[in-house]
Amino acid sequence: MAKKTTRRTSYSRKSQPIRSVFSKMIRFIVFSFLLLILFAAVYHYRNGLAYYLGFKSSKVLDEDAVDKHLSDVRNIQVLENHKGKVIGIDVSEFQGKVEWDEVEILEEKYPVQFVFVRATAGNDRVDKQFKKNWEGAKEHKIIRGAYHYYRPNENSIEQANLFIKTVKLQKGDLPPVLDIERLPKNQPLDSLKKGLKRWLTKVEAHYQVRPIIYTGERYYADFLKEEFGEYLFWIANYNFYREKIEDDWLFWQFTEKASLPGIKHRVDVNIYNGDIEQLQFITVD
Tell whether 167 is covered by a domain. yes
Do residues 213 and 224 lie in contact, with contact meaning Cβ atoms separated by under 8 Å? Answer: yes
| Helix, strand, coil content of the chain in percent (nearest 5) | 40, 20, 40
Q: Tens digits of per-residue pLDDT, 198-251?
A: 999 999 999 999 999 999 999 999 999 999 999 999 999 999 888 899 999 999
Residue 137: domain span: 84-281
Distance CA(100)–CA(12), nearest Å, equals 76
**Inside any domain, residue 59:** no
Position 31 in a domain: no
Instruction: For residue range 23-39, list pLDDT tens digits in order.
Output: 777 776 766 666 665 55
CATH number at residue 157: 3.20.20.80
- Average of per-residue pLDDT across 183-196: 93
CA–CA separation, 54 and 50 (whole Å): 6
Closest CA to 232 of 222, 220, 219, 218: 220
Q: Please name which of 177, 139, 104, 143 lies closest in space to residue 274, comparing C-alpha atoms.
A: 143
Q: Catalytic positions, please?
A: 90, 181
CA distance 31 to 37: 10
Residue 77, in any domain of the structure: no
Q: How many domains does the chain have?
A: 1
Residues 6+ apart with CB under 8 A from 246: 235, 252
Q: What is the pLDDT of residues 99-143, one digit of tens each?
A: 999 999 998 899 999 999 999 999 999 999 999 999 999 999 999
